[in-house]
Amino acid sequence: MIATAAVLAAVLLAAGCSKKPAAETAPSATETTAAQTTEATAEPETTEASTEADGEAVDLTNRYHMLQGTVVKTTEDGSVFTLQADDGQNYDLKLAQIRDVEVEIQEDVQIAIAYIGKEIGKGGVKPEDTDLVVALPEQEEWTVYQETGTTMFNAMSSFTVKTDDNRELSLLKDNCPMEEGALTKDSGDRVMVAYVTSGGTNYPVEVRKGE
């Protein structure tokens, strides 16, 4: 009996050691196929760029204007002044609104400001609705010229364009509005330049990519 009990104990011990732990449940073939299909058919997330600006034609014929008048009042620190414009309206302007100021702003001084946008004073348009580009000393006549050509020279503060009618046009570019990609190289860029001339110097109102 003792021998029989010993044999039985040995059999039970061997059976206990050979028992394997339950394996982790693997996904069924159906689940695996479904997951792979979902992953394969999922479209990558994309960000759509707005094409409204790219697709909208810019009207260059009525885009550039001059606001002319006399400074009738300035604040003590000179940061704000009142311009009595030639249209009879008074406009309170901040110096910070103007990209480039090439004239001393003080009372009784006549100035002209080249700007981009709809004409100020018409249809309720105010200076803050436009892009005030450069303030210059007043002169008898103003013309905003537009020229298309190829750059011959492009530096930090100035550039030169050979116009399509074979003239060399040198311009300053102090903080003037510039279409992205318009001036990218030292030379050879096709550009359209809107500019005004004051005291023999050409001041860009805007630089755009030329055709």
Helix locations, the chain, DSSP H: 2-17, 29-41, 52-55
Q: Which helix (H) or strand (E) is 54 found in, with range?
A: helix 52-55
d(CA 163, CA 210): 11
Q: How far apart are CA 136 and CA 59, in angstroms?
A: 25
Same fold, 64-137 and 144-209: yes
Q: Taking the domain 144-209, which CATH number applies? A: 2.40.50.320
Which CATH number is associated with domain 64-137?
A: 2.40.50.140
Instruction: Give the C-alpha distances (Å, rounded to integers) separating 153 from 156, 180, 192, 199, 204.
Output: 10, 18, 15, 22, 15
pLDDT in tens, the chain (211 residues): 444 444 334 443 344 433 334 434 444 444 444 444 444 434 333 333 222 344 566 778 899 999 999 999 999 999 999 999 999 999 999 999 999 999 999 999 999 999 999 999 999 999 999 999 999 999 999 999 999 999 999 999 999 999 999 999 999 988 999 999 999 999 999 999 999 999 999 999 999 999 8
pLDDT score for 56: 61
Tell me the C-alpha to C-alpha distance, in Å, between residue 1 and each of 6, 10, 65, 179, 186.
Answer: 9, 14, 119, 104, 107
Whether the CA torsion 182, 183, 185, 191 is positive or negative: it is: positive
Cα separation of 10 and 7, whole Å? 5
Domain boundaries, the chain: 64-137, 144-209
Give the pLDDT score at 57. Answer: 66
d(CA 83, CA 24): 82
The amino acid occupying position 46 is: T
Token pair 């309720």 in the structure block, residue: 124
CA separation (Å) from 206 to 15, 80, 173? 91, 25, 9
